[in-house]
Amino acid sequence: MPAPGPPPRAPGAQSIVTRHLDGSVEVVTDLDGDGVADIVQVDLNGDGVLDVTYVDSDHDGRLDTVLRDPGMVGTGGGGQRRA
């Protein structure tokens, strides 16, 4: 008789990439195979450059750190990066 519940997860990192109609892209990554996101990365305008990254830095299952592209602050997602 099969055990109740979902099937076991494959070990290792897994990512889901979502491409939205507005051109934005979201990548959700589970690094340790527990079914909980460890990193969420967002490209707001579809230019291939990550604009916002959320990280679970202490591995407690909650995204607790935000990394942003400084070139995008206050631009509504349409700003340009400057060298």
Q: What is the residue extent of each domain of the chain?
A: 14-69
C-alpha 19/C-alpha 59 separation (Å) is 27
pTM: 0.72
Going 69 to 75 to 77 to 80, the CA torsion angle's sign is negative
Residue 11 has what pLDDT? 75
- In the block, tokens 């631009």 appear at 75
> Does residue 35 carry a pLDDT above 60?
yes
Q: Give the model confidence (pLDDT) of 52-69 as tens digits.
A: 999 999 999 999 999 997
Note whether 64 and 57 are within 8 A (CB): yes
Among residues 20, 6, 21, 14, which one has the least CA distance to residue 36? Answer: 14
